[in-house]
Amino acid sequence: MKYESLAKDIIKNVGGKENVNSLTHCVTRLRFKLKDENKANTEGLKNMDGVVTVVQSGGQYQVVIGNHVPEVYADVVSVGGFSTASEDSSSEEKLSPFNKFIDIISGVFAPTLGVLAATGMIKGFNSLFVALGLYGDKSGTYAILNAIGDSLFYFFPIFLGYTASKKFKGNNFIGMAIGAALVYPKILALTTAQPLYTLFNGTMIQSNVNITFLGIPVILMDYSSSVIPIVLAAYVGAKIESGFKKIIPDVVKTFLVPFCTLLVTVPLTFIVIGPVATWAGKLIGTATLAIINLSPVLAGLFIGGFWQVFVMFGLHWGLIPIAINNMVTMHYDTVLSAAIGASFAQTGVVLAILLKTKNKKLKSLSIPAFISGIFGVTEPAIYGITLPRKKPFILSCIAAAVGGAIAEFMGTKGFIMGGLGVFALPSYINPQGMDKGFYGAIIAVVVSFVLGFILMMVAGFKDEESKTEEVKKESNELIRQEVVISPLKGEVKPLSEVKDEAFSKGVLGKGIAIEPKEGKVVSPVEGIVTMLFPTKHAIGITSKNGAEILIHVGMDTVQLEGKYFTSKVQQGDSIKIGQELLEFDIDAIKKEGFSLITPVIITNSDRYLDIIETDKKSINYKEDLLTVMI
């Protein structure tokens, strides 16, 4: 843990974890509710490296950390064993069925993707080295590397049992035990035994019955590497566990709740959940392949062209389980093959921008974005370079669509869940050897990269400084300034009048405050929304020129938990000057007893020569508020 030492010192100085009732965090600070604030060593905390200051307000003991507070919060929670806000929350955000599905999928699969990619890369390179003749598939080297590569995927139900139970708020280890039962060797061995009889004979779901449980027929499947059965089993198990918790006395809950939960859930999984889920998985995989087989090129164009959009909105989580399921049921997948060129198309566009731009800042951003893009990490390219300029992003989607069409036309198949970028290529090597599909993957990657590069070189882009930037000569030095317009309409106040030391003493950065007359916040610059707190009371923006701006509506309004606030944008959105960002109900917030004075600060003030404030006493939207001397 990066901030483990700091976390331990903070816990010690707030009076120990036994003095903490609850812990949350906002934009810049840890917000403790302490049993006795007198037990906290406030001066000691203020003097600690890593702590900006301490604010005691609104019944909360607030330890101001700065912009990296989420990382510190995570370590404090881990060290202290505190419940996170999401675990504590009694009222979860209402989600549409589709968004809830995406949330479940991402919650279950996201924790495994790093190791899944790593083991897939090892397995992929193992196949590559055998294909190149570096060693044989009977060698010890191959066996050990293959064991590493197969380890997670073969025992996937155990890993997903953990993550799924955590997502469904069940006992993580009960989830793992359910998953382990599904891949128990003696159970797997029974799948090849002489069947007692056959059910659903002559249908797509024809199944042999090898054993019975209390006289009930059990249709055994090979659940190693499976996905859907364990996720459903963990969900049912969490509900059963919750029911037993309500009726079993506290004195014996520790062992009787797992005992009863496993005794009910595991047989139920083998008898009902597993077979139904497996049949459903086969139907989904077959249907997906049928669509691709109907017109592979059109499917490739669509998936490839929109893959980056899917990723931005989290929609790709709906396709990843299908791909994994396809690999389990058919031992290969063509869905994710269509997206193979997306990261390379993005990288080709960035390379063209790198070569064409004369803007030193853009060039300095493009170099690391290009390097990370080669290895499949395209967020720096998307959010920092192509998306804010629109045209480059659209051109990258076009190039990715062409790459997807080529991959599907060539019959490219993924045989393992491998890495990203160049590390994904070994995933497309057929276990029988390099085939047309693998060469199709190479062609799709090269075409996506080259086409993205050429389109960007030909189409060009606006290579100019922000319209809010002025250039002038002073003392033989080039001094630039960026103007930050007012995001609010109201009375201008100095930060010193804000009743919060973190703002009033300028520890979070230089700026100014506004007492709003209207419940609307507009963008003060052209840039990107880099932070939108879940309670909507604060928003962070990074301008095109790198100024990091924090707009914090009211004092302690985080306690409203989003009530009376409505966001008009999402984190990661590109925004224009004057674009509406937030709405808030002034009267309702005041009735709740909260001050609405709103600091507008430059959180990276130390990077600049000076921050010059307006001398106006009242201000309207889009009038000059701050001048950042670069």
Instruction: Give the residue numbers annotated as catalytic, written as ranges.
Output: 26
CA 192-198-201 angle, 5° bins = 125
Indicate the burial class of 144 (C-beta count within 10 angstroms; 0-12, 13-18, 19 or more).
exposed
Residue 423 C-beta-side C-alpha neighbours within 13 Å: 18
Tell me the two tokens of residue 162. 């953990």
Neighbours of 474 (CB within 10 A): 7
CB 614 within 8 A of CB 512: yes
Q: How far apart are CA 484 and CA 527, in angstroms?
A: 11
Q: Encoding tokens for residue 566?
A: 């409505």
H/E element, 340? none
Q: Which two three-digit tokens encode residue 418?
A: 């491998």
Q: What is the token pair recorded at 322?
A: 């299908």
Can you state the angle between helices 360-374 and 342-356, rounded to 10 degrees? 150
Question: How does DSSP classify residue 580?
Answer: E
Beta strand pairing call for 60-64 and 29-34: antiparallel
Is the distance from CB of 15 to CB of 34 less than 8 angstroms? yes
Length of the chain: 630
The backbone region for 615, taken as left when phi is positive above 0, alpha when psi lies in -120 to 50, beta otherwise, is: alpha
Chain centroid offset of residue 99 CA: 14
Provide φ and ψ at 134, rounded to 5°. -70, -30
d(CA 315, CA 309): 8
Is-contact 130 136, C-beta < 8 A? yes
User: Distance between CA atoms of 597 and 601, rounded to whole angstroms?
Assistant: 13
The alpha carbon of residue 252 and the mean position of all alpha carbons in its chain are separated, in whole angstroms, by 39
CB 241 within 8 A of CB 191: no
